Amino acid sequence: MSINTEKIRQNADLINPISACPFGEPINECPFIPYYTLNDEREQIMQIDIIPQEELDKLRKFHRACMEKYRNGDWPMKATDVNAR
């Protein structure tokens, strides 16, 4: 199965958060955690083609809210994040 599909391209902003938490360790309620357990980046990206668009939109909304909280300092910075800022 190709990762170069129209749906994956249209949802390319979700490739990073579905592959690994961009902030280090994900929070407990992170909906991306089940995808991290796949431990295969190609397989994780291919999930975008399988997940219903409505669910992808919910994941996007969660990720954007998470990024905002992280930027505002609402999430505690992890030791692995020190060089990220």
| Helical ranges in the chain per DSSP H | 6-10, 15-19, 33-36, 41-50, 53-71
Dmax (CA) for the chain in angstroms is 39
User: Which pLDDT tens digit goes with each residue over 38-47?
Assistant: 989 999 999 9
21 pLDDT higher than 70: yes
Answering whether pTM is above 0.85, one says no
Inter-residue contact 18 to 47 (CB < 8 Å) = yes
* Domain boundaries defined on the chain: 6-84
User: How far apart (Å, rounded) are the C-alpha atoms in residues 42 and 40?
Assistant: 6
6 pLDDT higher than 50: yes
- Residue 82 has what pLDDT? 44
User: Which pLDDT tens digit goes with each residue over 47-68?
Assistant: 999 999 999 999 999 999 999 9
